[in-house]
Amino acid sequence: MMTEKNDFVFSADELKSIEAHVAKYPEKRSAVMPALWIAQEKFGWLSEEAIKLVADTLDLPYSHVYGVASFYTMYFKKKAPKHLIEVCTCFSCSITGGPETYEYVKEKIEADESGFGKEGKIWVRQAECLGACDTAPMCQITNRTYVHNLTEEKVDELIEKLRKDEEIPFQSVPLKDQSVVD
């Protein structure tokens, strides 16, 4: 479905949410990240029109909003499949199988050179450190949920759930030494 330029508007609820973020900060421009997030959630990615909508809503220059959107990898600047698997390949994950896990995911979804799976529902890319070194290798699902201690079996289960558009539930990471919190 093509989105028309006049389809790029925020709903009353979305505007209310953006205003709540604006109210948290001394300057409107500080709310650009949550406003971009709201736009991405609405449109699935940040097209030029979506970025312009955020700029207009916050009364900021397009160049500023585009600069923020292009700096952070969590903002998608091109149309992409619905589900993203970001496999950490930094040091701890790298030495515990992150690169191999990344290759396994690519193979399982039959990814093209851009990481988009053959079915068009899932894509994969490597991630810099996601801050969960103690449960490596790990991945993040569509900027939300972490999946820890990855194995081929976990990856297979994860991909099947994403193919069915099932939410990946939050998983608490158990402490190995409970005395740390006692």
Kindly report, residue by residue over 57-96, the tens digit of the pLDDT.
Answer: 999 999 999 999 999 989 999 999 999 999 999 999 999 9
How many angstroms from the chain centroid is the CA of residue 15? Answer: 22
Do residues 90 and 67 share a domain? no
pLDDT the model gives residue 158 = 95
Mean of the per-residue pLDDT values of the chain: 90
Report the CATH number that the domain containing residue 22 is assigned in CATH: 1.10.10.1590
What DSSP character marks residue 120?
A: S
Pairing type for strands 139-141 and 122-127 reads unpaired
Q: How confident is the model at residue 7 (pLDDT cuts 50, 70, 90)?
A: confident
Domain region containing 30? 5-71
Last residue of some domain: 51, 71, 91?
71
Q: Is 94 within the bounds of a domain?
A: yes
Global model pTM greater than 0.85 = no
Do residues 67 and 131 share a domain? no
Residue 56 CA to residue 37 CA, distance in Å, equals: 15
Q: Is the peptide bond before 137 cis (omega within 30 degrees of 0)?
A: yes
pLDDT digit string, tens, across residues 127-177 = 989 888 899 999 999 988 999 999 999 999 999 999 999 989 887 775 555
End-to-end CA distance of the chain: 55
What are the structure tokens assigned to 20, written together? Answer: 């709540």
Do residues 106 and 155 share a domain? yes
Q: How many domains does the chain have?
A: 2
pLDDT digit string, tens, across residues 85-136 = 999 999 999 999 999 999 999 999 999 999 999 999 999 999 989 888 899 9
